[in-house]
Structure 1
Amino acid sequence: MGLRMVLDSQPDLTVVGEAADGRAALERSAELRPDLVLMDVRMPEVDGLAATRELCARPSPPKVLVVTTFDLDEYAYGALRAGASGFLVKDALGEEILVTVRAVLRGDVMMAPSALRRLVERYVLPSAPAAERGRLARLTDRERDVLALVARGLSNTEIAARLFLGETTVKTHLGRVLGKLDLRDRVHAVIFAYESGLVRVGDRPGADRG
């Protein structure tokens, strides 16, 4: 009710429906075709992880924002891997909710690199699957450099300065990385970088590996 009141108070946002669990969310999404779904994690019938995976696999899927207590549980990490565009904290203030929702609707990913690193440190398997390591071979050396720095939490501006490139060039490289690896967005690029072994848990942001 609180979320609905905050969102419906804005002239540019409209809540088109609600659902009590994951199964109902899937049905209502198919019916209403929303631009964004706020998905709880622990729900009866179909949980948020399964519902997010199914939603994001549909043609022209809505964006999904996971509603979480943000003590970063395995369901939230799984939802990111399934295609969610970030987190919304359950106890967030109204202004934070609006900033997050509008950012995701613009196509941004609302996931702080430090929080994502915490997830990765806790849930990514220590050994990278061979298939993931093999996918790295699709990238040029410069694309690998960009991906590694994205995974360590650097912004495009910081990456440009570090690699002596223009910011537009960095964006181009990142776009090619996403395309070659069939990744949805920056968050999933970070997850891939850890899972493939390109970046290791414990690497400092901005640090080079020897």
Structure 2
Amino acid sequence: MIRVVVVDDEALVRFGLELIFRGTADIDVVATTTGALAVREVGLRGPDVVLLDIRTPGVDALTVVRQLRAMPRPPAVAMLTTAGSGENVAAALRCGAAGFFLKDTEPQHLAQYIRTLASGGVVLSRDVTRSAADDYLDTAARSAASAGVARLTKREREVLVLLAEGLSNLAIGVRMHLSRGTIKDHVSTVLAKLGVGNRVQAALIAQRAGLLRRPGA
């Protein structure tokens, strides 16, 4: 069972998300709370995934992300956002967030997003990816990343695409009929060629480069 905490200062948003997940057999919303109480509730509940509103009145959401990621058993944190907040999204990713998606995301996609986050994948809404990538990466880094993409082999590019679509190493291995260890080696090579330190950065670069083959949320 995947344990989830929803953090949003709007009661209607909290209720709506809890209601959506109530119909899934493998996801349990163990708490809904406001930004001010987020760290305490997460500490008490020990969730696998936290959905955190990027705008929490009276509380710095970025500080909350840092505190959650510094816990002994840190949950995966995904930011709930609205269109046009790329700068805040980029800052949240730097603080350790595993992804972000819009509050008006289609409900049928949400359960799979939670499963992706719980398995170590990333969830990045393509509606705000380009602005977030531009804020996340400076000009030199974007240039280096573009050169890195060009150096990827066909197999490495396929790994990058699947990584950017949110698949874990295990899931990528199943898709490509390769061992988990082999995929781990490919991911390490991809990150090195792109000059980035984590999967979120790689996924942003892949999306910005137009490598994804299917529409995202």
Same fold (TM > 0.5): yes
Question: Which letter does structure 2 place at the counterpart of 1:19?
Answer: T
C-alpha deviation, 1:59, in angstroms: 2.1
C-alpha deviation, 1:190, in angstroms: 5.1
Question: Which letter does structure 1 place at the counterpart of 2:32?
Answer: E
Check 1:77–1:122 CA distance in 2 against 1; reply closer, same or farther (3 A cut): closer
Which of the numbers 113, 120, 135 marks the counterpart of 1:100? 113
Q: How many residues align?
A: 177
Asked if residue 73 in structure 1 is aligned to residue 74 in structure 2, the reply is no
Q: Does the residue aligned with 1:108 lie in a helix, a strand or coil?
A: coil
Q: Does the residue aligned with 1:100 lie in a helix, a strand or coil?
A: helix
Q: Does the residue aligned with 1:27 lie in a helix, a strand or coil?
A: helix
Question: Which letter does structure 2 place at the counterpart of 1:98?
Answer: A
The separation in 2 between residues aligned to 1:16 and 1:112, in whole angstroms, is 25
The separation in 1 between residues aligned to 2:95 and 2:34, in whole angstroms, is 21
C-alpha deviation, 1:90, in angstroms: 0.5
C-alpha deviation, 1:115, in angstroms: 4.8
Structure 1: state its 5+ residue gaps: 134-140, 157-165
- Which of the pair is proportionally richer in strand? 2
Q: Does the residue aligned with 1:15 lie in a helix, a strand or coil?
A: strand
Check 1:9–1:112 CA distance in 2 against 1; reply closer, same or farther (3 A cut): closer
TM-score, scaled relative to structure 2: 0.63
Structure 2: state its 5+ residue gaps: 1-14, 164-175, 213-217
Question: Which letter does structure 2 place at the counterpart of 1:100?
Answer: Y
Identity within the alignment, %: 29
The separation in 2 between residues aligned to 1:72 and 1:154, in whole angstroms, is 24
Q: In structure 1, what is the equivalent of residue 133 of structure 2?
A: 120
C-alpha deviation, 1:118, in angstroms: 3.3
Q: Does the residue aligned with 2:72 lie in a helix, a strand or coil?
A: coil
C-alpha contact 1:88 1:97 (8 A) present in aligned 2: no
C-alpha contact 2:84 2:128 (8 A) present in aligned 1: no
C-alpha deviation, 1:44, in angstroms: 2.2
